[in-house]
């Protein structure tokens, strides 16, 4: 069954009368959109026709579950995400940013309720002088909360990828678990990558980790593929597809084909 398409203006309240999987067309939105997810409900939202500048505010009531899917394939973007999570909520966003334009994404999640979880994952390709900036932050404000921030990026032809953000585990947020991971591959000497993962921990009895790796393609991987008869460019495409495609499991078959096509077109 095809997902229902809904045109959104400045506010959307999702209730049990809506289907579980929706495509939201945001072309009529101006400065901001407020989303309200009622309690005990679960939704998967695909966002399309996102304006160049927009603030997206998500308010999740108790025991609700929201999954966002975004494929950015065109035009400069400057987006601000904000989430407020009540008890036992789960918010996840899967962003595939393969546009040939500049991108700036900022996110701040406030997990206010006990047992809530936040997951923000990005796959990014930057080339031909484009600059991709991501600042993904979240606040742990209560017990037993989980957060995961992940960035996988590939930069080539003077492209730049910059990842940063703060995960703040505040007082009385015991039993919380926070992860940050940033990995960026540079295809040439002209490209650049920067990572600034930051943890702030104000209480004991928590688990927290962060990692950042920036470097060139693995020469052994390239040599192996070249020895199998692939051209240098084909080998680079294949490595890029493998590096960025882990996020594809969160998309349907048609969306996965779009992602593969955009990665190939990025060269």
**Please, which pLDDT band fits residue 266 given cuts at 50, 70 and 90?**
low
Quick one: pLDDT at residue 223? 86
Flag whether 121 is in a domain. yes
Tokens coding 5: 């398409």
**Residue 87 above 60 pLDDT?**
yes
Q: What is the pLDDT of residues 169-226, one digit of tens each?
A: 999 999 999 999 999 999 888 999 999 999 999 999 999 999 999 988 778 888 888 9
In a domain? residue 238: no
Structural contact between residues 114 and 85, judged by C-beta atoms closer than 8 angstroms: no
82 belongs to a structural domain: yes
Rounded CA separation 115/143 (Å): 6
Is residue 85 in a domain?
Answer: yes
Does residue 192 fall inside a structural domain?
yes
pTM over 0.75: yes
Does residue 213 fall inside a structural domain? yes
Q: What is the total count of domains within the chain?
A: 1
Is residue 95, in this structure, part of any structural domain at all? yes
Structural domain of residue 52, as residue ranges? 4-217
């Amino acid at each position: 069954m095809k997902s229902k398409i809904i045109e959104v203006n400045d506010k959307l309240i999702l209730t049990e009368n809506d289907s579980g999987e929706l495509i939201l067309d945001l072309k009529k939105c101006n400065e901001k959109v407020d989303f309200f997810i009622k309690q005990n409900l679960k939704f998967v939202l695909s966002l399309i026709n996102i304006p160049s500048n927009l603030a997206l505010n998500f308010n999740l009531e108790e025991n609700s579950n929201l999954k966002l899917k975004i494929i950015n394939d065109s035009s400069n973007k400057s987006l601000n995400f904000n989430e407020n999570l009540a008890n036992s909520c789960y918010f996840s966003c899967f962003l595939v940013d393969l546009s040939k334009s500049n991108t700036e994404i900022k996110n701040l999640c406030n997990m206010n309720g006990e047992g809530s979880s936040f997951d923000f994952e990005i796959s990014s390709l930057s080339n031909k002088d484009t600059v991709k900036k991501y600042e993904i932050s979240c606040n742990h404000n209560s017990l037993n909360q989980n957060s995961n921030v992940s960035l996988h990026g590939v930069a080539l032809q003077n492209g730049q990828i910059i990842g940063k953000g703060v995960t703040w585990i505040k007082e009385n947020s015991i039993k919380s678990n926070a992860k940050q991971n940033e990995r960026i591959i540079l295809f040439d000497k002209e490209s650049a990558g920067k990572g600034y993962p930051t943890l702030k921990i104000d209480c004991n009895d928590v688990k927290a980790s962060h990692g950042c790796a920036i470097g060139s393609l693995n020469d052994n991987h390239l040599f192996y593929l070249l020895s199998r008869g692939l051209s240098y460019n084909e080998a680079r495409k294949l490595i890029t597809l493998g590096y960025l495609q882990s996020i594809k499991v969160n998309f349907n078959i048609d969306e996965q084909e779009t992602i593969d096509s955009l990665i190939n077109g990025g060269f």
